[in-house]
Structure 1
Amino acid sequence: MSAMPFEDFETAYETLATAIDQAGPAREALFLTRLALVLGHELGDIAAFRKAIETALDGLE
């Protein structure tokens, strides 16, 4: 998997933050779950999908 250029990463962050705000607190978890599944489907690689989940979980404690 290739790394996203920093400028695109910033845009992705802003786009995601806006979408989370649009979903609202009551639907935030549902939105993020659906987004993860859509991106996993687009990725088409279960190992990479699992690695992304592990990376996202790392450091949440």
Structure 2
Amino acid sequence: MNTAPMTSGLGIGALEAVYDTLAQAIDQAGPGKIELLLVKLALLQAQALGDEQAFQAQVEAALRDL
């Protein structure tokens, strides 16, 4: 498995905008639906990424240092 760090084409400003969008979506979903929202979003992003191994690497990266 590739353990190289994932790189992103997004700059700090774009990442902040993505963070804000995600925070607003979480607020809109409400406490009982946050997990469902995040699973649906992850599946949609995996489909958009089109690379199962890259998605698995991103999941592992997200799990680090929780």
Q: Give the TM-score range, shorter chain.
A: over 0.9
Output the amino acid matched with 2:57: K
In the other structure, the counterpart of 2:43 is 37
Structure 2: which 5+ runs fail to align?
1-5
TM-score normalised by structure 1 residue count? 0.93
- Gap regions ≥5 residues in structure 1: none
Higher helix share: 1
Deviation at 1:2, TM superposition (A): 4.5
In structure 1, the residue matched to 2:62 is: 56
Bigger CA radius of gyration: 2
Q: Distance in 2 between matches of 1:51 and 1:27?
A: 26
Letter in 1 for 2:35: A
TM-score, with structure 2 as normaliser: 0.86
Select the structure with the greater relative contact order (CA < 8 A; seq sep ≥ 6).
2
Runs ≥4 residues deviating over 2 A: none
